[in-house]
Structure 1
Amino acid sequence: MTEATQNKVEHAAVGRVVSDKGDKTITVLIERREKHPLYGKYIRRSTKIHAHDADNTAKSGDLVRVVSCRPISKQKTWRLVEVVESAVVV
């Protein structure tokens, strides 16, 4: 094992798929709660990221786990690991 692979840190996140319109691309909304520095109230903050979905398995509304990776395109620096929970089809 080389030093480059030993120091590699994978950042993982769990979020909800808000769009699956692109080919092999999903848009994931990651929500987190932050405490306000002065008032102490918890605030919901969110981040939208683009993730690589090679098999087009994730659909809109699914809960997915993504992990950071090398840049695949200008905006895609995350890839899909697994679909944690499928969306309810109505």
Structure 2
Amino acid sequence: MEFVVIAALVAVSFGVAATWLIATRLPAEWIERGQHEGRYASLSMPSAPSPLSEIDARRAQARTDTRRVRRARFRASAQRSGKAAA
């Protein structure tokens, strides 16, 4: 058990060290290039929120309706099983 705790502490320490090294040792040009050209570049650029298209709105509504139906079915089955047990 002690080995697991020590291994976890070592793993967290490596993660902390790697994060610190990235934040302090990378040249500023690399960081800026990564912000503009990287995978998450769109997150760093301010943009207007795009309105949902009609299809996206229907999908969102369908997901909500599906959740409601599942919740209602679960409640009904829970009430039936509760009455059967009583």
Larger Rg: 2
Q: TM-score scaled by structure 2?
A: 0.18
More strand by share: 1
More helix by share: 2
